[in-house]
Amino acid sequence: MSLVRLAGVVREIGTFVILDRVDAAVAAGERVGLVGPNGAGKTTLLRILAGLDEPDRGEVTRKRSLTVGFLRQETSLDASFAEAPDLRTAVRHGAAELERLEIELAGLERAGRVLDARYAEIQHRYDAHGGYGLDQRVDATLSGLGFPRAMWDRPPTALSGGEQTRAALARLLISDPDLLLLDEPTNHLDVSALEWLEEEVRRRSGALLVASHDRAFLDATVTRIWELRDRHLTAFRGGYSDFARQREERDARLRREADARDDAIAHEQQLIQRYRSQRKHGKMHEHEARLEKLDRVEVPRAGRSLTLSDRAFLGGGPTRSAEVVVRAEGLVVGRTVDGVRIAVASVPFLEARRGDRIGIVGPNGAGKTTLLKTIAGELHPLDGRLAIGSGSAIGYLAQLRSAAIPGATVLDALLAEVPLPAGEARGYLARFLFRGDDVLKEVTSLSGGERSRLELALLGVLPSNVLLLDEPTNHLDIPAREALESFLRETAATVLLVSHDRRLLETICDRLWIVDDHRAVPFEGGYRAWRAAVAEGWRIDEAAERERARLHGGGVTAGSTIRTGGTVATDRARAAVSASVAAAGADGHGRRRAEPQGERASHGVAAAAPSTPRERAEKLSKEAYRRRKLAVEADLERLGSCRALLEAALGDPEVQANFVELRRIANELADVDGALVAAEEAWLLVEEMAP
């Protein structure tokens, strides 16, 4: 049985047709995903189904007494919601009919009429619709959508825009309408809330129509897909992955049919011309009749696609960065407000190496953006050390809509970054789907998707070998997300990615940094492995303790830039010295450590330390010799770089004026010199063991 049916629906704005002869129906209990590029008319179709807009032509038929709940992309609080004393009460008001029955039951109880037939009838209806479990459902919904109990007593007007959207979603779920219409419901949800919502909508008995660019969410929740393309709607069975496969097969088939039809038309036209020239009019008319029956096959047009390149618009490809791109040790990130330092998260140890693709995940408000801003240099560390490898050219994409973009128009925004001829600027913006008069749109009037594309355009102007991306897919449609995924798969840049887009995380990232409970820890594995570990009991506090126990000191790459919570610039050599001395096997005073024979093979250069006279050194195989020699030469290079850093520090006037600092650096230089001697001895031994 259909809850709502569209027949020949047409919607126009002026001379522009948004929907053209759309036929569709939603059955009771059906779960449908609505997809299409930004601007295809998805929101318009939802508004028509919700009864907020009427079609210009065609019919919309709804089941009698149908209840519809509609979540808009940008929620504005209605009067009843805004006037509620607190968030929990506002969400509970979604069950308006149950609250009405509660009031009536309470009135009958006060009147002593609990034995009346009317009381029994109302109580039955109240129980049948889950009235006695209403408070538990409200609490579960608020918790599931990421509202901590401390927020439940806050007035709705004190919520941020994203929180208001989540609160409106919570109220709709509590209202439990016959047809639930959701327009991009996942934009403001973190991973846990997304997984909770997926389970909730699968459990619902009512129908669902959801417009979303979140492919993982669609795969988990819907059983049919409606695609809006070229003003027409086409239905497919299955989730998003099924739809993508079916659409590709259908488009390929239509292209083959179109090519065959074009060949047939060309052949008939050729025959008509031949018979006309030969004055064989009977044959000519015969083929003309055949030609009239051959209609061209209409192939869906390929939408305009975002074009991202690893080569920047100016400056070409990025240079090569150091091996270690980012290293954080004992780092505390946060912000300073009116001179008060507010810590958000602590980082025992995190490291990103050249070419890594790391996803940064965790609940909303945990500190992911704060950590990324600190790495980008927009915030100073509150404590600890943060090293950025030499040669790192950082490209930072902040969360969108948080800061103003300079320039009145899209074209102005680009020209504010780089002075260019207008023609070149327009050509570059066209790669990001700003064509013609689109470049003259005011920045303040851009949609979410347009703003996202402009941010990506500004990011790609100059070459970057380290990409810090904070929710880059916000408001991007599926074709743009797939273009971004393709770029991130192919780029040689190091990528640190904050995202709740699970398909993007699964496709791009093979390692994660988990930020939660005021901590940030590494996770060796992708998104699915992490969620499986969480299901098996993985906890961030236990992971943080294991990380602290594992740490035994470590250094930073020579030539790194250090940002610390303190003021001593020479810290960039200190950790490098300790690591290099340890790697070379020195005890901190230029002496070799005595090690058990069986442990030497696991200590890099120490494995080459002589325990017997050199004349007794055994020959190595070619492969073992190559590996051993590379390890020793790497230590020699690292120690040489450390020595150069310390010698440069000794010449710093600030250091020379500080006796304590001067003595410390001189001692560390002596340590490095001793380690160099040990490493050189190891190199000589390796040479004697050459095959």
Kindly report the length of the chain: 691
Residue type, 1: M
Rounded CA gap, 144 and 95, in Å?
18
Q: What is the 3-state secondary structure (H, E, C) of 514-571?
A: EEECCEEEEECCCHHHHHHHHHCCCCHHHHHHHHHHHCCCCCCCCCCEEEECCCCCCH
Both tokens of 201, joined, read 């909508």
User: Which DSSP category does 616 fall into?
Assistant: G
Assess contact for 35 and 240: CB atoms under 8 A.
Answer: yes
Of 70 and 74, which is predicted with more confidence?
Answer: 70
- Residue predicted with more confidence, 663 or 392: 392
Q: Please enumerate in sequence order all residues whose Cβ is within 8 A of that of 443, keeping only pairs 6 or more positions apart, or say none.
A: 404, 405, 407, 408, 409, 410, 412, 413, 451, 454
What Cα–Cα distance (Å) separates residue 141 from each residue in 163, 167, 170, 180, 187? Answer: 14, 9, 6, 16, 17
Q: Is residue 587 very low, low, confident or very high in pLDDT (cuts 50, 70, 90)? A: very low
Crossing angle, helix 622-650 and helix 659-688, to 10 degrees? 160
Share of the chain above pLDDT 70, in %: 86
Indicate the pLDDT class of residue 70, thresholds 50, 70 and 90.
Answer: very high
Q: Would the pLDDT of 30 be above 70?
A: yes
User: What pLDDT digit, counting tens, does each position of 488-528 carry?
Assistant: 988 889 999 999 999 999 999 999 999 998 899 999 999 99
Residue range 285-301, pLDDT digits in tens: 888 888 888 888 777 76
Identify which of 623, 627, 591, 589 has the alpha carbon closest to the alpha carbon of residue 608.
Answer: 627
Which H or E run includes 668? helix 659-688
DSSP code for 414: H
C-alpha distances out from residue 305 to 458, 478, 485, 489, Å: 17, 10, 13, 17
Bridge-based pairing of strands 224-229 and 31-35 is parallel
Of 87 and 79, the structure prediction assigns the larger pLDDT to 87
More confident residue, 584 or 117: 117
pLDDT at 16: 85
Tell me whether residue 77 is exposed, middle or buried, using C-beta atoms within 10 angstroms of its C-beta: 0 to 12, 13 to 18, 19 or more: middle
How many helices and strands (H and E) does the chain possess?
Answer: 23, 19
Beta carbons within 8 Å of 17's beta carbon, 6+ residues apart: 10, 11, 231
The pLDDT confidence band at residue 303, using thresholds 50, 70 and 90, is low
CB neighbour burial string for 446-471, b if at least 16 within 10 angstroms, e if fewer: bebbbbbbbbbbbbbbebbbbbbbbb
Helical spans, DSSP H, in 222-343: 240-277, 281-293
Q: Output 4 or 570, whichever has higher pLDDT.
A: 4
CA of 583: how far to CAs of 416, 551, 572, 598, in Å?
49, 15, 18, 17
Condensed to tens digits (0 to 9), the pLDDT of residues 541-560 reads 888 888 777 765 444 444 55
Annotate 133-171 with DSSP letters as a single string. Answer: GHHHHHHHHHHHTT--GGGTTS-GGGS-HHHHHHHHHHH
Residues 164-193 have a mean pLDDT of 91
Q: Round to whole Å and give the CA distance between 676 and 350.
A: 28
pLDDT at 561 over 90: no
Q: How far apart are CA 432 and CA 448, in angstroms?
A: 14
Phi then psi for residue 466, to 5 deg, are: -135, 115
| Pairing mode of beta strands 494-498, 357-361 | parallel
User: SS3 for 326?
Assistant: strand
> Given the structure tokens 């994660």, which residue do they identify?
512
Query: What integer is the mean pLDDT of 235-255?
Result: 90
**Tokens for 373?**
């801003």
Q: Please report the pLDDT score of residue 552 as a whole number.
A: 53
For the chain, what is the mean pLDDT? 82
Helix or strand or coil: residue 276?
Answer: helix
Residue 585: pLDDT band with limits 50, 70, 90: very low
User: Residue 357: beta bridge partners?
Assistant: 495
What confidence score (pLDDT) does residue 617 get? Answer: 55
Mean pLDDT on 320-325: 87
DSSP per-residue string spanning 240-251:
HHHHHHHHHHHH
Alpha helices in 537-658 (DSSP H): 540-550, 571-584, 622-650, 653-656
- The confidence score (pLDDT) of residue 158 equals 86
Token pair in block for residue 26: 């939603």
Look at the pTM and tell me if it is higher than 0.75.
Answer: no
Least confident of 107-111, 196-200, 662-666: 662-666
Q: Are 474 and 503 in contact (CB under 8 A)?
A: no
Distances (CA, A) of 516 to 190, 351, 521: 12, 18, 9
Q: Which helix (H) or strand (E) holds 104?
A: helix 96-110
* 663-677: average pLDDT: 77
Across residues 400-406, what is the average pLDDT?
Answer: 57
Per-residue pLDDT at 220 exceeds 50: yes
pLDDT for the residue numbered 582: 45
Handedness of CA 152, 157, 161, 166 (dihedral sign): positive
Query: ∠ CA(228), CA(233), CA(239), 5° rounding?
Result: 70
What pLDDT, on a 0 to 100 scale, did the predictor assign at position 243? 93
What is the pLDDT, as a whole number, of residue 410? 86
Contacts of 268 (CB under 8 A, 6+ apart): 287, 290, 291, 294
Residue 76: predicted pLDDT: 62
Tell how strand 340-353 and strand 207-211 pair up.
unpaired
Lateral strand order in the sheet of 511-516: 394-397, 466-470, 494-498, 357-361, 511-516, 519-523, 340-353, 324-337, 383-388, 561-564
Dihedral in degrees, nearest 10, Cα atoms 609, 611, 616, 618: -50
